[in-house]
């Protein structure tokens, strides 16, 4: 039992003693949202494909005896979100965030999002297991299409354009697995602001919408080069 305890302590000690000095290194990164709903405008930094089925329920309050109506639809989403960063010093890094997101509901609605922005991350030490905080912001564009029906029974496609702006904050722990790879586990809070564009083919009284989303993120980093040093 004592032997096992000594081995565990030595592993923990070696993890904290030998650290990476990544100053001057480039890295690429992308991630996934681990669980949770939301994602109407998609979390920044999330890559992947998702499939889900949803049923909507509603009542018409103007009916004398309103009934509950329902409608089921399937949604397929695709997202790619590469990030390119650079270590300015041992603890501070920054770079650019890019993202393309496409979401579609069978015979109902489809929309596309493209954003680009910057991020900054601060690690509290140079150890292999280290807490960090991060902030990021970006601008983007949104295009949505949905089939509609006029009062006379005619069919037309509603096209909606929006200008997007988001800012986000996160905090978590980074695990450096080896010389090149690191895993980053964090909790992300993001506010995406939609502003309707006059390029849309319909009118609306709504000009701006704010969407707050919070969720856990897991990302993987690939570091192109770096030096290993022993801390005294």
The pLDDT of residue 7 is 44
Between CA 42 and CA 112, with CA 157 as vertex, the angle to 5 degrees is: 20
**Highest mean pLDDT, choosing among 7-11, 114-118, 151-155, 223-227:** 114-118
Residue 191's contacts (CB-CB under 8 Å, 6 or more residues apart) are 166, 167, 168, 210, 211, 212, 213
Rama region for 213: left / alpha / beta (φ>0; ψ in -120 to 50; rest): beta
pLDDT exceeds 70 at position 188:
yes
The pLDDT of residue 138 is 93
Mean pLDDT of 154-181: 89
Please report which confidence band the pLDDT of residue 124 belongs to, taking 50, 70 and 90 as the band edges. Answer: very high
- Cα dihedral 36, 41, 44, 45 sign: positive
Residue carrying the six token digits 């570091």: 223
Adjacent-strand bridge partners of 26: 86
Q: What is the mean pLDDT of the chain?
A: 78
The pLDDT of residue 223 is 92
Domains annotated on the chain, with CATH: 20-50+76-225 (2.40.160.20)
Q: What are the pLDDT digits (tens) for 11-63?
A: 444 444 445 557 778 999 998 877 655 455 566 667 776 665 656 666 666 66
Helix (H, G, I), strand (E, B) or coil at 10: helix
Reported residue count of the chain is 232
Residue 167 half-sphere exposure, CB side, CA atoms within 13 Å?
A: 1
């Amino acid at each position: 039992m004592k032997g096992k305890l000594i081995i565990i302590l030595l592993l923990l000690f070696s993890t904290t003693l030998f650290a990476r000095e990544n100053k001057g290194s480039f890295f690429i990164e992308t991630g996934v949202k681990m669980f949770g709903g939301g994602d109407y405008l998609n979390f920044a930094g999330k890559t992947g494909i998702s499939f889900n089925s949803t049923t909507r329920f509603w009542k018409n309050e103007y009916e004398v005896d309103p009934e509950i109506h329902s409608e089921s639809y399937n949604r397929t989403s695709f997202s790619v979100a590469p990030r390119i960063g650079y270590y300015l010093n041992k603890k501070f890094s920054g770079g650019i965030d890019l993202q393309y997101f496409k979401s579609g509901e069978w015979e109902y609605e489809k929309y596309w999002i493209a954003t680009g922005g910057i991020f900054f991350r601060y690690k509290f030490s140079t150890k292999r297991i280290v807490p960090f905080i991060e902030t990021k912001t970006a601008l983007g564009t949104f295009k949505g299409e949905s089939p509609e029906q006029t009062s006379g029974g005619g069919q037309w496609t509603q096209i909606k354009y929006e200008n997007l702006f988001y800012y986000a904050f996160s905090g978590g722990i980074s695990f450096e697995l080896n010389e090149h790879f690191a895993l980053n586990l964090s909790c992300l809070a993001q506010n995406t602001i939609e502003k309707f564009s006059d390029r849309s083919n319909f009118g609306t009284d709504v000009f701006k919408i704010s969407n707050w989303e919070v969720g856990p993120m897991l990302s993987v980093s690939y570091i192109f080069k770096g030096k290993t040093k022993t801390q005294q």
